[in-house]
A and B are shown apart, each in its own frame.
Chain A
């Protein structure tokens, strides 16, 4: 009703849908250590990012997260080689080992490095990398500014702070490119960490800080964070409600994840916390004196994107029941089997590539 015809088609999918999709995909990845499945998740997220991202500053974030993921695998491998982990029969090579004192029993330094252990460490690192890549996909796909508009009014001011903090990341990416070009002008190609710190990191951070301050000043002068019109008492009640609700939510989540609390009690605490939070937010939202120019509708396509992410999780659940053992393959040198249900689920999660490909009208003339 409030959207201009054709606008929904022009704009990308809802950012909440993208985050939901990416987190569901990450959930699916966290439920398995099967390398085929993890690689499939990475491939699917990459495909969707390439097809669906716009040309905004944050669209390049995916590549950065890929690099971070690769670093995670490398670090995990290095830890295995140095500190050990799962042991195996096929010894690749032996490092000189250090005998550690009594109190450090259970650790080793150096020693035999086995192929099985190395593989297990690699798969473990790959799992972490996959989770990171999923987050990267969400970053590349979802506009942080549009995400901000979908947050309940009561959380508005907090969410702006968060979004401004998030938007530093893409600024850093473009800042690094600019500073590196300038560095080449200086003829400075030194790669020592101290030199990079001084010539790249410090100027980039300086730049990002300057921009953030400029944005903060612009937002303040345009009325962000206005308290006008709301009596102090009502403001305090609002904050109290919000805090209580969020605390309840945190306590519930903690109880659920901990082992000490029985599951039913944890679930009910979580539900109560969520209820309090929702009530608090709803109550507070009515008191916040902001209006919305246009609400960002969550349409059928956005639901479909969420569902496709859900399919990946459902696939891993099905595989867990029907093909036990395939999700968590033994650390052997044999080629691990491919869990079929889970693979189908993850493939379904590629649907957004067809549902919401980038429209060309987003790029206007220069």
Chain B
């Protein structure tokens, strides 16, 4: 169905795809995996001709979809063959109303009005959008928006659907909605799906096969084969590798079937217990509320934390996580309640003083960066923070290796850009460090590196609060989890007990081996039990 034959693509200064050849058969749900910056988005955009039509660059080789040559057509001509869903659905919406958005592609193709109405109705039913059919797009939840974007791509009846990280920005519940809708499409309509995603633990169970993009080359195969050797793999695969399971299994169900012997071996090794950090409170927030017109985003949150604590703030999209972080930092709006950091209210201070109490890395780290080079950014940060020259550059070097000082901040990889924003924030040496959704766009190695960095910062005496949907990141990073729902704290306690009690927030390892959160923890426990007197 989707066929690449010796496709090579390069921008002027670097090669992205190097002699790529593969074939995705009809009706297959195929997963494209690779590290950040491996060129996954580029490959996906090749399928409907956005690359090179929109990006420029040099391409050779042949791509066909459903027998049509992609290179001989424009993306618009292929709209009836390939549906393309980009990362941010909101940025790609042309209208402002669900029904019209769904009909847009059919209008472009000149589908007669009666047929169009019928198709739109079918899509609405298939994707479970009946309740929101007449709504404005701005009023939808993020999961609903993503489903509308998928529906909009499907209305023209394409035989292939290409999705670029459809669930990265979604909370676990919304991601499930989207993925089960996709699953239904594959089964009921026979649509061929090619999907790239960083959060493999969410999608792997739905997929039939995988493509690994590494160094410009593509390796195709079954999920187990491809993921076993890949630089990115969900924890269940890593666990399987560690335990030497057959396959290795890619789903929780398959792993559980082989897990009994490992569970027995682990029974003798007790789960590590981390003593809660002691000391005087650093942050004391009481009754914090944030109101926006027509909605109360944060509703009476009490939060006390100490130096050395690592807190993950979890909850659905729109549960008030970001608003709470901004209110705690003091720059965001606070409608009621008190916040005190080391005895001072940050909102009452000037921005320059405020950031020496609490630093916030926003969801879009690039917003913090203005300079043309990394070196310039670091110098500006030293000036802003009245720090000695070279302070920010030194923090950056501690956080991450190999950042080119002459590179433009926007040209850095996601992980490097986040590290730079973090270094800029840390230059003011705030004891309280807040990060808003830092794992978006990070692959597994990137997330592990971030978790390690944040752990080091906490050990050095910072209190780190991270808002995230990412349960695997929470498992690696957090010592304490706070769950928000509709602006209120519904759970607050040690990470181990909170995530274990919730099917939605439990990491994969916990589902297979109750009591263990990460693969590293299992490995450590195995070492201990092997080396011990048993």
Interface pair A217/B295, CB less than 8 Å apart: no
B384 is contacted by which of A146, A188, A203, A290 (Cβ under 8 Å)? A188
* A198-235 contacts to B (CB < 8 Å): 198-199, 202-203, 206, 211, 213-229
Interface pair B100/A217, CB less than 8 Å apart: no
Interface pair A188/B351, CB less than 8 Å apart: yes
* A172-206 contacts to B (CB < 8 Å): 178-179, 181-182, 184-189, 198-199, 202-203, 206
A214 CA to B136 CA in the complex, in Å? 21
Judge whether B91 is part of the interface by a CB distance below 8 angstroms.
yes
Interface pair B152/A146, CB less than 8 Å apart: no
Judge whether B111 is part of the interface by a CB distance below 8 angstroms.
yes
Shortest CB distance B100–A (Å): 6
Judge whether A236 is part of the interface by a CB distance below 8 angstroms.
no
A366 CA to B290 CA in the complex, in Å? 14
A185 CA to B349 CA in the complex, in Å? 12
Judge whether A99 is part of the interface by a CB distance below 8 angstroms.
no
Interface pair A293/B94, CB less than 8 Å apart: no
Q: Which residues of B contact A143 (CB under 8 A)?
A: 96
Shortest CB distance A80–B (Å): 38
Q: Which residues of A contact B93 (CB under 8 A)?
A: 218
B92 is contacted by which of A4, A179, A218, A290 (Cβ under 8 Å)? A218
Interface pair B54/A216, CB less than 8 Å apart: yes
Interface pair A225/B91, CB less than 8 Å apart: no
Most chain A CB within 10 A, of B54, B74, B94, B138, is at: B94
Interface pair B91/A189, CB less than 8 Å apart: no
A214 CA to B149 CA in the complex, in Å? 14
Q: How large is the interface on A (under 10, 10 to 19, 20 to 34, 35 or more residues)?
A: 35 or more
Q: Which residues of B contact A224 (CB under 8 A)?
A: 76, 94, 108
A365 CA to B295 CA in the complex, in Å? 9
Interface pair A218/B99, CB less than 8 Å apart: no
Shortest CB distance A347–B (Å): 29
* Smallest Cβ-Cβ distance to A160: which chain B residue: B94
Judge whether A324 is part of the interface by a CB distance below 8 angstroms.
no
A47 CA to B369 CA in the complex, in Å? 40
Interface pair B350/A189, CB less than 8 Å apart: yes
Judge whether B30 is part of the interface by a CB distance below 8 angstroms.
no
Q: Chain B, 95-138, contact with A by CB distance < 8 Å: what is the 0/1 string?
A: 11001100111111111110011001000000000001011101
Q: Which residues of B contact A217 (CB under 8 A)?
A: 45, 50, 54, 75, 86, 92
Known A185-B360, A223-B108; judge A202-B370 contact (CB<8 A): yes
Q: Chain A, 91-103, contact with B by CB distance < 8 Å: what is the 0/1 string?
A: 0000000000000
Known A181-B332, A187-B354; judge A218-B86 contact (CB<8 A): yes
Q: Which residues of B contact A206 (CB under 8 A)?
A: 410
Q: Which residues of A contact B295 (CB under 8 A)?
A: 366
Judge whether B407 is part of the interface by a CB distance below 8 angstroms.
no
* A141-177 contacts to B (CB < 8 Å): 143, 145-146, 149
Judge whether A291 is part of the interface by a CB distance below 8 angstroms.
yes
Q: Which residues of A contact B75 (CB under 8 A)?
A: 217, 220-221
Q: Which residues of B contact A188 (CB under 8 A)?
A: 351, 384
Q: Which residues of A contact B368 (CB under 8 A)?
A: 182, 185-186
Interface size on B, residues (CB 8 A): 79
Interface pair A291/B113, CB less than 8 Å apart: yes
Known A362-B136, A363-B139; judge A179-B367 contact (CB<8 A): yes
* Smallest Cβ-Cβ distance to B354: which chain A residue: A187
Q: Which residues of B contact A289 (CB under 8 A)?
A: 109-110
Shortest CB distance B168–A (Å): 15
Interface pair A222/B294, CB less than 8 Å apart: no
Q: Which residues of B contact A216 (CB under 8 A)?
A: 54
Interface pair A214/B329, CB less than 8 Å apart: no
A185 CA to B352 CA in the complex, in Å? 8
Interface pair A223/B109, CB less than 8 Å apart: yes
Known A293-B106, A365-B139; judge A215-B94 contact (CB<8 A): yes
A189 is contacted by which of B120, B140, B326, B352 (Cβ under 8 Å)? B352
Interface pair B370/A198, CB less than 8 Å apart: yes
Known A217-B50, A228-B77; judge A187-B385 contact (CB<8 A): yes
Interface pair B91/A218, CB less than 8 Å apart: yes
Q: Which residues of A contact B78 (CB under 8 A)?
A: 221
A364 CA to B131 CA in the complex, in Å? 12
Q: Which residues of B contact A222 (CB under 8 A)?
A: 76, 79, 84, 94, 104-105, 108, 152-153, 156
Interface pair B92/A214, CB less than 8 Å apart: yes
Q: Which residues of B contact A4 (CB under 8 A)?
A: 134
Interface pair A226/B108, CB less than 8 Å apart: yes
Interface pair A220/B50, CB less than 8 Å apart: yes
Shortest CB distance A360–B (Å): 9
Interface pair A223/B105, CB less than 8 Å apart: yes
Judge whether B355 is part of the interface by a CB distance below 8 angstroms.
yes
A186 CA to B386 CA in the complex, in Å? 12
A226 is contacted by which of B76, B113, B294 (Cβ under 8 Å)? B76
B424 is contacted by which of A149, A186, A198, A363 (Cβ under 8 Å)? A186
Shortest CB distance A187–B (Å): 4
* Smallest Cβ-Cβ distance to A164: which chain B residue: B94
Q: Which residues of B contact A202 (CB under 8 A)?
A: 370
Judge whether B359 is part of the interface by a CB distance below 8 angstroms.
yes
Interface pair A182/B88, CB less than 8 Å apart: no
Interface pair A203/B367, CB less than 8 Å apart: yes
Q: Which residues of B contact A145 (CB under 8 A)?
A: 94-96
B110 is contacted by which of A10, A57, A198, A290 (Cβ under 8 Å)? A290
* Smallest Cβ-Cβ distance to A293: which chain B residue: B103
* Smallest Cβ-Cβ distance to B95: which chain A residue: A145
Judge whether B425 is part of the interface by a CB distance below 8 angstroms.
yes
Q: Which residues of B contact A221 (CB under 8 A)?
A: 48, 50, 75-76, 78-79, 82-84, 153
Q: Which residues of B contact A57 (CB under 8 A)?
A: 138
B362 is contacted by which of A149, A185, A229 (Cβ under 8 Å)? A185
Shortest CB distance A81–B (Å): 36
* Smallest Cβ-Cβ distance to B162: which chain A residue: A221
Interface pair A185/B355, CB less than 8 Å apart: yes
Judge whether B472 is part of the interface by a CB distance below 8 angstroms.
no
Shortest CB distance B88–A (Å): 7
Interface pair A186/B53, CB less than 8 Å apart: no
Judge whether B446 is part of the interface by a CB distance below 8 angstroms.
no
A223 is contacted by which of B132, B135, B156 (Cβ under 8 Å)? B156
Judge whether B522 is part of the interface by a CB distance below 8 angstroms.
no
Most chain B CB within 10 A, of A186, A213, A225, is at: A186
Shortest CB distance A155–B (Å): 15
Judge whether B515 is part of the interface by a CB distance below 8 angstroms.
no
* Smallest Cβ-Cβ distance to B381: which chain A residue: A186
A217 CA to B91 CA in the complex, in Å? 10
Judge whether B21 is part of the interface by a CB distance below 8 angstroms.
no
Known A223-B108, A290-B107, A364-B139; judge A146-B96 contact (CB<8 A): yes
Q: Chain B, 42-57, contact with A by CB distance < 8 Å: what is the 0/1 string?
A: 0001001010011000
Q: Which residues of A contact B110 (CB under 8 A)?
A: 229, 289-291
Interface pair B367/A363, CB less than 8 Å apart: no
Q: Which residues of A contact B352 (CB under 8 A)?
A: 187, 189
Interface pair A186/B134, CB less than 8 Å apart: no
Shortest CB distance A202–B (Å): 7
Q: A181-B362, A184-B331 are in contact. List 15 more A-B contacts (CB 8 A).
A: A7-B134, A56-B136, A146-B96, A185-B331, A198-B370, A217-B75, A218-B92, A220-B74, A222-B94, A222-B104, A223-B109, A224-B94, A224-B108, A290-B110, A364-B136
- Can you sample 16 A-B contacts with CB below 8 Å? A56-B96, A143-B96, A182-B362, A185-B331, A189-B352, A215-B91, A217-B92, A219-B92, A220-B76, A221-B82, A222-B79, A223-B105, A225-B76, A293-B113, A362-B136, A364-B140
Which B residues have a C-beta under 8 Å from some C-beta of A?
A: 45, 48, 50, 53-54, 74-80, 82-84, 86, 88, 91-96, 99-100, 103-113, 116-117, 120, 132, 134-136, 138-141, 152-153, 156, 293-295, 318, 326, 329, 331-332, 350-355, 359-360, 362, 364, 366-368, 370, 381, 384-385, 410, 424-425, 428
Lowest 10 CB-CB distances: which A-B pairs, in order? A218-B92, A364-B139, A223-B79, A223-B108, A293-B103, A182-B367, A187-B352, A289-B110, A221-B84, A214-B91
